[in-house]
Amino acid sequence: MSTLSERILGADAGEYVDRKVDRAYVHDGTGVLTLETWKQMGNRLSDDPDLYVLFDHIVPANNSTTATLQHELRDFACGSFMHFSDIGGGICHQLMSEGVVLPGEVVVGADSHSCTPGAFGAFATGVGATDMAAIWLTGETWFRVPDSIGISLTGSLQGSAEAKDLALLYVSRLGMDGGTYCALEFIGDGVKNLGMDDRLTLCNLSVETGAKTGMFYADHITLQYLAGKGQKVQPQVPDSCMYSRELEFDLSDIVPLIAVPPRVDTVKPVSDLAGIPIDQVFVGACTNGRFSDLARLAGILKGKNVAVRTIVVPASRAVLSEAIRTGVIADLVAAGCTIGTPGCGPCLGAHMGVLGEGEVCLSTANRNFRNRMGVGGEIYLSSVATAGASALTGEITEPEVG
Amino acid sequence: MQGGGHAVCLGPDIDTDLIIAGRYLRTKDHGIWVSHVFEDLDPSLAARMNGAVIVAGKNFGCGSSREQAALALKEAGVTAVIAPSFARIFFRNAINVGLPAIECSLPCVEGQNVKFDLAAGCVETGGNTYSIRPLSPRMRDILAAGGLIRYWRGRP
Ligand code: SF4
């Protein structure tokens, strides 16, 4: 009777294991450090895991220092057998989620949100640059098999509530260290009412509780999604197992929520905050930059005009293409939105949408830490529906039920 | 791996910003951290770090994933950090830079000698022995080598 982590890692919670890694990825930020460390370690590349270098954080480069660092990493990646995605390809976690990561795999990314593809029933987690360098060298790493917290779901989302609202809710319940060392397992009847995009959003925020990863068991929804990407996989059937803790949520009760700066676990109903003026709306990031998010936003904004600057950044080139093909981008541009290069966009405050002193942004990303998007700026985190409704009024606004 | 030192007692939830503030990160000169470690928590701590065993409360090293936090403690001469729990990325980073991160609950008496023996899986202080959550043989080897870079460097 094992948790999904125990099953994939092949040992009981609490034990240390050395595990071969199936896929390992870095981005333009962490890749630079990984490369430096790896050179000191031994300069050999393991040909075992699939290794990826995916440019997403500062794309295109914002200044010549960044450009020079990217140049070196790009040259290295292209001269090796690593998979490489250049600027505009998309956010690393999204690219790994477009038919790359498969159920049962061990996946490691040099980025804290590498928990995202756990949505496919993989054991996916983040490590630092030194760990990643050793994985480049040897193809394996050590893990302590985590205890698991069960997030048990019933019902289905109603009205304008989104998976993001549930994500903010569970983060506030667990708190910013409530999941430390643990894996979150999303279980229960309600999971069948959550699509792949919803699941990715839910796993994405697991690290905001300190958790090692968030995971869903691969079911018919997973299989169907991956089949659409040309991947044929087997479902994972949950065992009855021991959770160190179990939280229950009825999806039908979820209402639109917002995380108030500067903590992701300070969460309030949108209705309590309605009327707070905002200077910028950002829809995107590895949390909410997928096609379903952009389409939902376009549905809200179509035929209207945004009242504040609204930056929309597709999570990947595939998302952008789909949004162009379906007319979503045309609707967003007509409503006054600015469309950014697929990637992280303003999420990390490096460029493209940095906030000024005293400015307020309503963002669909996952972190609202002090100064993250620019010194002196404040970040409220919400769903796409809340971001869309607020973009139209210029202040925090509850989304219409529809 | 064995070692020890004088106890420096700290509370719970010590985050990486408190260990080494963000304003000191952008440097290749690691020596600079020695005088600034824990500056925002208590500026007098830095002087007591050489040969210290930090005995802290739960969730040590939470916050950002900066590897510099573990490095700064090591540079400052800390021989081990003992806490009931660690933030997981700090825990990994500490082992990877060769700083023992030991999971154990024990009473802390400032300045008292604390000895640890990772192979035996115990910590000793004030005449009492406490068992620790064991590390894997691989992790003990990484620590013994002085960190992950040295562990792998020169291996065939
Ligand atoms: S979108 Fe934001 S949170 Fe996601 S990987 Fe990029 S910077 Fe990190």
- ipTM of predicted complex: 0.87
Beta carbons of A177 and B92 less than 8 Å apart: no
Residues with a CB atom less than 6 Å from ligand 1: A 56-57, 91, 93, 111, 113, 285-286, 344, 347-348, 365-366
CB nearest A180 (choices: B88, B93, B152): B88
Q: What is the pTM of this model?
A: 0.91
Other Cβ atoms less than 10 A from the Cβ of A373: the count is: 24
From A184, A219, A148, select the one nearest A1 (Cα to Cα).
Answer: A148
DSSP 3-state helix, strand, coil percentages of chain A (rounded to 5)? Answer: 35, 20, 45
A372 CA distance to ligand 1 middle (Å): 11
Checking if the pLDDT of A264 tops 80, the result is yes
- Characterize A114-143 residue by residue with b for buried, 16 or more Cβ atoms within 10 angstroms of its Cβ, and e for exposed: bbbbbbbbbbbbbbbbbbbbbbbbbbbbbb
pLDDT score of A30: 87
Cβ within 8 Å, pair B152-A16:
no
Number of domains, chain B:
1
Contact criterion met (CB below 8 Å) for A93 and A204: yes
Query: CB neighbours of A232 closer than 8 A, spacing ≥ 6?
Result: A226
Give the residue, A402 or A61, on which the prediction is more confident: A61
CATH number of residue B60's parent domain: 3.20.19.10
Ligand 1 center from residue A348 Cα (angstroms): 7
Length of chain A: 402
Task: Spell out which residues of chain A touch residue B16, defining contact as CB-CB under 8 Å.
Answer: none
**Cβ distance of A127 and B139 shorter than 8 Å:** no
Cβ contact A34:A136 at 8 Å: yes
* Domain extent for B69: 2-153
pLDDT digits (tens, 9 = 90+) for A266-283: 999 999 999 999 999 999
Distance A76 CA to ligand 1 centre (A): 23
Q: Which residues of A touch B (CB under 8 A)?
A: 14, 16-18, 37, 40-42, 112, 126-131, 133-134, 137-138, 142, 176-177, 180-181, 210, 212
Q: Which residue in A34, A37, A130, A131 has the most chain B C-beta atoms within 10 A of its own C-beta, making it the best mutation to test that interface? A: A130
Residues of A within 8 A of B156 (CB-CB) are none
Q: Does residue B156 surpass a pLDDT of 70?
A: no
Q: What mean pLDDT value characterizes chain A?
A: 96
**Mutation test residue for ligand 1: of A26, A366, A373, A379, the one with most atoms within 8 Å of CB:** A366
By a Cβ cutoff of 8 Å, what residues of chain B touch chain A? 13, 59, 62, 65, 67, 85, 87-89, 92-93, 96-97, 133, 135-136, 138-139, 147-149, 152-155
End-to-end CA distance of chain A: 42
pLDDT, tens digit (0-9, with 9 covering 90-100), for B114-155: 999 999 999 999 999 999 988 888 889 999 999 999 999 867
- Residue B75 above 80 pLDDT? yes
The token duo for B58 is 């739960």
- Average pLDDT of span A54-69: 94
User: What is the model's pLDDT at position B154?
Assistant: 65
Cα(A114) to ligand 1 centroid in Å equals 10
* Whether the Cβ atoms of residue A97 and residue A120 lie closer than 8 Å to each other: yes
Distance (Å) from the alpha carbon of B149 to chain A's nearest alpha carbon: 5
pLDDT band for position B62 (cuts 50, 70, 90): confident
- Structural domains present in chain A: 4-251 (3.30.499.10), 258-393 (3.30.499.10)
Among A25, A96, A113, name the best residue to mutate to test ligand 1's pocket (greatest count of ligand atoms within 8 A of Cβ).
A113
Query: Could you tell me what percent of chain B has a pLDDT over 90?
Result: 68
Q: Check B62 against A42: CB less than 8 A apart.
A: no
Give A228-256 pLDDT, tens digit per residue.
999 999 999 998 899 999 999 999 999 99
pLDDT of the residue at B155: 72
**pLDDT confidence bin for A389, thresholds 50/70/90:** very high
DSSP code at position A360: E
**Which chain A residues touch B96 with a CB distance below 8 Å?**
128, 130-131, 134
How many Å is the Cα radius of gyration of chain B? Answer: 15
Q: Is the pLDDT of residue B26 over 70?
A: no
pLDDT at residue A323 greater than cutoff 90: yes
